[in-house]
Structure 1
């Protein structure tokens, strides 16, 4: 009977040790799995390209942080002469020269950008993005910088030139129209195209491999 009791005790102790060891192993695996970062293998280990890690959505999110991208900003100047003379005689002359200063810019509207405008060629390591052409924004007059020269008066003219609100509005409209014409000259437009390509490429380059070619097509 004593032998049976000792054998039974031995079996209980052995079972306890086995279950305890198994429980410790399971706990160790769970803790180790939590500490080990999960790695998703997207490409075979023999591949040299990292382009598969980039999606159209990640590129769009990167670009659309700014929905309207200003690519060119330029200072504009327009000289105007306000003439309040009576006829052509110098003695009735009254005029004032004004230097109007303003700002003009080109921007790209990114609000319509979606995955259909982004193409990723993994084989040739190229990204092609179709964007609307840079558009000229309406110039604005900087009245703080605008300068008014002294009024030139003939012998029989007195006082300074005083404009009504309507007259000032007409002059401002003409100044903005002339500034807009200058802004849309070919030289500035070509600069907007080049700066637009460089700026968008600069936004994307940090999230792709160095040897990936980025094509920007304006349409």
Structure 2
């Protein structure tokens, strides 16, 4: 038993003992002891009032002790201040959600790696095939997918007060940037015309043309439908975590639901 419980038990005994003593005195004054009979009406009323006062004092003490252990809950306080439990409207959520769009603008939702097979050709004398050299290559790159949060407007935010859900409609993910990584290029077989000799060598201009073409091939690969489907999946996860954190500061009772704009 803790020290606080011992003190509370002692106080309870003191109050009970005080009640017994008070009742005993009242019986002696107005009657013939606790076991006697023939109390007057005023004596009975005095005893009842005395017991009631002592009982109410004890209950008040218990309530005071209980209130000392109540820890204020910040979120609950916010809720109660908003005209009742969970009494929110869509406007309460729109401002912080739209403000986040202004701060964040483009949200990177995923980066995907890709590779494609290609070839580079060095033409020989008079562009005759017998002098040509062709090198097979595997090029690697990365695609960055983003969503534009500034496209989220007030009309894209709706509130289901019955189920405590805030639905936010976001745009689909887009391929924002494609980078070609020449250091990861895999060099394959070199094919030569029967009069071509030596290794393939490109001029600076030919190298630039090759890199532009490589980037275009990577972009085509990264623009396949399954790539966007995966990016959209991550877009939902990223925006849910971001917006749920915002909504939680307003009311922990509401859950965010992410949908895509039509």
Which residue does 2:5 correspond to in 1?
none
1:5-24 equivalence runs, <5 A: none
Which residue does 1:212 correspond to in 2?
255
2:122–2:202 Cα contact (<8 Å) kept: no
1:43/1:81 CA distance change after superposition, 3 Å: same
1:8-87 equivalence runs, <5 A: 41-44=81-84, 47=85, 49=86, 54-62=92-100, 64-84=102-122, 87=128
Q: Aligned match of 1:198 in 228, 233, 237? A: 237
**Is 1:121–2:164 an aligned residue pair?**
no
Q: How many angstroms apart in 1 are the aligned matches of 2:159 and 2:254?
A: 14
Which residue does 1:161 correspond to in 2?
200
Q: How many angstroms apart in 1 are the aligned matches of 2:179 and 2:210?
A: 13
| Aligned pairs, number | 178
User: Structure 1, residues 84-127: CA drift from partner, whole Å, max 9, x if none?
Assistant: 365455xx452222221110122101134343432233343221
Which residue does 2:138 correspond to in 1?
99
Q: Report SS of the residue matched to 1:140.
A: strand
Q: How many angstroms apart in 2 are the aligned matches of 1:152 and 1:50?
A: 74
Q: Report SS of the residue matched to 2:230.
A: helix
Which residue does 2:54 correspond to in 1?
none
1:134–1:193 Cα contact (<8 Å) kept: yes
2:138–2:187 Cα contact (<8 Å) kept: yes
User: Structure 1, residues 115-145: CA drift from partner, whole Å, max 9, x if none?
Assistant: 3432233343221222222111242101222
Rg (Cα) greater in structure? 2
Shift of residue 160 of structure 1? Answer: 2.7
Q: TM-score under structure 1 normalisation?
A: 0.66
Which residue does 1:20 correspond to in 2?
none
Q: How many angstroms apart in 2 are the aligned matches of 1:161 and 1:173?
A: 19
Q: How many angstroms apart in 2 are the aligned matches of 1:161 and 1:181?
A: 27
Shift of residue 201 of structure 1? Answer: 0.9
Q: TM-score under structure 2 normalisation?
A: 0.57
Q: Report SS of the residue matched to 1:144.
A: strand
Which residue does 1:29 correspond to in 2?
none
